[in-house]
Amino acid sequence: MALQDLTPQLRTRLSRMERAVGWFVFLAMLLFALGFLYYVYATAERKGWFLTKARYYTFVKAATGLKVGDPVMLMGFDAGSITAIKPMPADQFMFNVFVEFELKAPNYGYIWTEGSRARVATADLLGKRVVEVTKGTNGYPTYIFSPLVWMSAAEANHLPAPANWLFGEEILSPDGTNSLARPLEPLGNLADVIAAGYTNLLLLNTNAPQKTMTGLWSERAGRYVAINTEPHGYYLLSDESPAVTEQLQRMVTVVEQALPSVLNLTNSLALVFSNSAVLTSNLNLVAVAAQPGVSNLARATEHLDRPGALGEWLIPTNVNRELEGTLSNANAALVAVNTNLGSVLDNLNRSLDNMANLTSNLDLQVQANTNILSSISGAVTHADEFVQGLKRFWLFRHLFKSSATNPPPRPPAQPIRSPKGAELSQ
């Protein structure tokens, strides 16, 4: 149906519907554009497109397991990404592969001139490797954000605000032994530097920091240089571990070298097993030969469960009877000895009682007559004097002569020898 055939009311409703559809499509396109822009912004923020990045590079022996876009790790975190992997020229014999990478802010602040290195380590068992940078331990920051200014010593000596200026280079004494100034140090010893003969100085203006990097450290020059003088960034020494393929190749080589020893070991095990088989067959023969002895032993011990069975087996009947008679006689002898011993002990007890009574009576006599001991002592003394008088009396003197004993034998006489013979005998 043509539009002219519609009534005015239908044409009015149709125009309103077309405007509504147009506004709906416009809003949908606007929302789609806004959503796409937000997605792009979130992706850029997540990947660090808006962050400041610092360039670094290193050299490796081989690019195995590395590719552009791989993350660069720092203390276990994703700190940046690899931006370029290129082989070195053919006439370059010191380095093989050039690897360039970027570190996002603020990760490059951990990279200092001392202690920071680029480690190329194995990431998995499929040959993947990853670049990992280590945190610095000393030295100077690799990048700076303060403007670099060359000025004369006279200008540096008359700066209006010297506290806002720092040295940007290492300044040594004329003999090269002592350090007069170090980078990032204030101008406190500027007089010593001027006295040493330095006329032009490289200084950092900390009063005007920049949002972008203004310079990086140069090991060759011993100072900070402009950012555009080093297009590839700051160089980091590399610590490279071999790829998994190389490690597997080394393992295969070791296994190949160890295979002859393994084969010799298997041959030795086979010989041991064969000897074990022969030994078991010999043990079978020994068991067959020992079967009659075991049978006899079983017959000998089958009646051991009866009372006295072991005694009847070890001691025959006649020996048992003789042993019983001997034990009976010994028992009778012991009974007799026991009886006689009792009577002997009774008599000994009576004798001891009599001895005790005698000594007690003697003690009573002594206690009753206190002069008895002196009388006994006088009697003994007079008896001794009487005997001594008898010994001197001529009639009884021969009764008290002592029996003569043989004199001791004389020592044998030594033979007489000449002086020479005596010397020889000694």
Asked whether residue 34 is domain-assigned, the answer is: yes
As separate numbers, helices (DSSP H) first and strands (DSSP E) second, the chain gives 9, 18
* R_g (Cα) of the chain, nearest Å: 64
pLDDT of residue 3: 53
Asked whether residue 21 is domain-assigned, the answer is: yes
CA dihedral defined by 122, 127, 130, 134, rounded to 10 degrees? 20
Between 139 and 359, the more confident residue is: 139
Please state the length of the chain: 426
pLDDT of residue 407: 58
Number of domains in the chain: 1
Residues with Cβ within 8 Å of 98's Cβ and at least 6 positions away in sequence, in order, are 57, 59, 84, 85, 86, 87, 88
The order of strands in the sheet holding 234-235 is: 234-235, 53-60, 97-104, 77-87, 71-74, 129-133, 118-122, 238-240
pLDDT of residue 47: 78
CB burial of residue 194 (10 Å; 0-12, 13-18, 19+): middle
Mean pLDDT, residues 56-71: 93
Asked whether residue 122 is domain-assigned, the answer is: no
Between 150 and 344, the more confident residue is: 150
Q: Residue 169 — very low, low, confident or very high, per pLDDT cuts 50/70/90?
A: very high
> Would you tell me how many other CB atoms lie within 10 Å of the CB of residue 195?
11
Asked whether residue 396 is domain-assigned, the answer is: no
Q: Does residue 318 carry a pLDDT above 60?
A: yes
Amino acid at 375: S
Instruction: Please state the separation of Cα 36 from the chain's center in Å.
Output: 59
Question: What is the distance in angstroms between the CA of the first residue and the CA of the last residue of the chain?
Answer: 171
Extended beta strands in 123-162, E state = 129-133, 138-141, 143-144, 148-152
Q: Residue 223 — φ and ψ, nearest 5°?
A: -160, 175
Q: Residue 292 — very low, low, confident or very high, per pLDDT cuts 50/70/90?
A: confident
Q: Does residue 413 carry a pLDDT above 70?
A: no
Range of the domain at 38: 13-46
Nearest to 65 by CA among 102, 97, 107: 97
Q: Are 170 and 190 in contact (CB under 8 A)?
A: no
Q: Is the peptide bond before 71 cis (omega within 30 degrees of 0)?
A: no
Asked whether residue 22 is domain-assigned, the answer is: yes
CB burial of residue 224 (10 Å; 0-12, 13-18, 19+): buried
pLDDT of residue 345: 73
Nearest to 202 by CA among 178, 229, 227, 226: 226
Q: Does residue 60 carry a pLDDT above 90?
A: yes
Asked whether residue 26 is domain-assigned, the answer is: yes
pLDDT of residue 273: 83
Q: Residue 380 — very low, low, confident or very high, per pLDDT cuts 50/70/90?
A: confident
Between 104 and 4, the more confident residue is: 104
Asked whether residue 17 is domain-assigned, the answer is: yes
Asked whether residue 297 is domain-assigned, the answer is: no
Hey, which of 12-21, 184-193, 317-326, 400-409 has the most confident mean pLDDT? Answer: 184-193
